[in-house]
């Protein structure tokens, strides 16, 4: 694996004393899609801003493509793209010109074919002569992506790419991210939609109050921290938990008709234990009519991590 971005001991204290990044260490490898998850104010945008030269870190170092950003910012800058949360300029410009201009900003020669390819891939070609202000919110967002792609970055930051967009457009965004991934672009995205991280990311980092609480392969994180939950509907209600199944992590739901199992560690132990539980029920002559088993989602893991006080 080739590291493309290395943050080491990165901290940012804003004037006024708020610590937005607290000693963050993070390495991003070439070609991966990394999702940074965190609640409002966690420090996601500050982290992106530090790498993109918009926020001056208080301490720590950032290396991108092997260059130290503090001393060699220009060498790395051309290879980094940013899709910010909101469009701030260019509202009166036609789409085509705004995107071409973004390319020029990075000192690249004009390339009509390349701009056409980008606009077509984002379904903006038909809108190329329209002023940005006349586009729908979703189209404006695509213009932001087109602008960030115009200088052909190797590392792309997407800050909340799908916040407030409808389901259809969100799916479109995911397809765009997939295409960029196939082209070998390394992508770091921030999102509130954990479903999005679950779907898109290879690795996930969870940040809260400026601290990176955990970084792991998405699947490994879900396996390590996941839980199994099984609801067993009994043929006849029970008034209390029978001793034969007392060794299992089960509870009887009010009404006595449903046994709820919560356990496992995401490594398959939960499913095996549910199987053992059903055998124990049969052996104890307790009949059941249905079992509904599910594994916890990244969202549940996220919420429980934030709730564990590690966040403090």
Name the residues that contact ligand ATP, by CB under 6 A: 14, 16, 18, 20, 38, 40-46
> DSSP secondary structure string, 161-222?
TTTT--HHHHHHHHHHHHHHHHTT-EEEEEES-HHHHHHH-SEEEEEETTEEEEEEEHHHHH
How many whole angstroms separate alpha carbon 226 and alpha carbon 38? 18
- Compare residues 42 and 232 and give the one whose CB is closer to ligand ATP: 42
CB of 208 to ligand ATP, least distance (A): 9
Residue with tokens 């201009």: 101
Q: How far does CA 11 lie from the centroid of its chain? A: 21
- Compare residues 19 and 121 and give the one whose CB is closer to ligand ATP: 19
CB of 129 to ligand ATP, least distance (A): 33
- Compare residues 40 and 239 and give the one whose CB is closer to ligand ATP: 40
- Compare residues 42 and 95 and give the one whose CB is closer to ligand ATP: 42
- Compare residues 186 and 191 and give the one whose CB is closer to ligand ATP: 191
Question: For residue 30, which of 68, 64, 69, 62 has the smallest C-alpha distance?
Answer: 64
Helix axes 298-307, 218-225, angle to 10 degrees: 70
CB of 77 to ligand ATP, least distance (A): 20
Q: Is 243 helix (H, G, I), strand (E, B) or coil?
A: helix
CB of 16 to ligand ATP, least distance (A): 6
CB of 306 to ligand ATP, least distance (A): 13
Q: What angle do CA 237, 243, 248 make, to 5 degrees?
A: 90
CB of 14 to ligand ATP, least distance (A): 3
Q: What angle do CA 224, 230, 235 make, to 5 degrees?
A: 165
- Dihedrals phi, psi of 45, to nearest 5 degrees: -65, -35
- Compare residues 58 and 121 and give the one whose CB is closer to ligand ATP: 58
């Amino acid at each position: 694996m080739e590291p493309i971005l290395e943050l080491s001991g990165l901290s940012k204290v804003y004037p006024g004393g708020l610590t937005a990044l607290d000693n963050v260490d993070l390495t991003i490898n070439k070609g991966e899609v990394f999702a940074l998850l965190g609640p409002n104010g966690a420090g996601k945008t500050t982290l992106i801003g530090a790498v993109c030269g918009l926020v001056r870190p208080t301490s720590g170092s950032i290396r991108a493509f092997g260059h130290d950003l503090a001393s060699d910012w220009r060498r790395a800058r051309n290879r980094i793209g940013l899709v910010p949360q909101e469009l701030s300029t260019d509202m009166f410009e036609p789409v085509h010109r705004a995107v071409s201009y973004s390319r020029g900003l990075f000192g690249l020669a004009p390339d009509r074919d390349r701009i056409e390819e980008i606009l077509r891939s984002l379904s903006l070609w038909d809108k190329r002569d329209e002023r940005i202000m006349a586009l729908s919110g979703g189209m404006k967002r695509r213009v932001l992506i087109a602008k960030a792609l115009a200088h052909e970055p190797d590392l792309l930051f997407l800050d909340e790419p799908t916040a407030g967009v409808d389901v259809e457009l969100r799916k479109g965004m995911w397809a765009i991210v997939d295409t960029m991934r196939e082209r070998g672009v390394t992508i770091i995205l921030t999102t509130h939609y954990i479903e999005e991280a679950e779907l898109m990311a290879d690795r996930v980092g969870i940040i809260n109050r400026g601290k990176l609480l955990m970084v792991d392969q998405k699947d490994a994180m879900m396996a390590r921290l996941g839980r199994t939950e099984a609801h067993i509907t009994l043929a006849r209600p029970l008034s209390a938990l029978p001793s034969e199944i007392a060794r299992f992590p089960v509870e009887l739901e009010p009404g006595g008709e449903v046994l709820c199992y919560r356990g496992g560690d995401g490594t398959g132990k939960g499913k095996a234990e549910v199987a053992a539980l059903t055998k124990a029920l049969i052996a104890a002559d307790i009949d059941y009519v249905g079992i509904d088993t599910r594994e916890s989602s990244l969202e549940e893991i996220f919420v429980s991590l934030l709730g564990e006080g590690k966040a403090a």
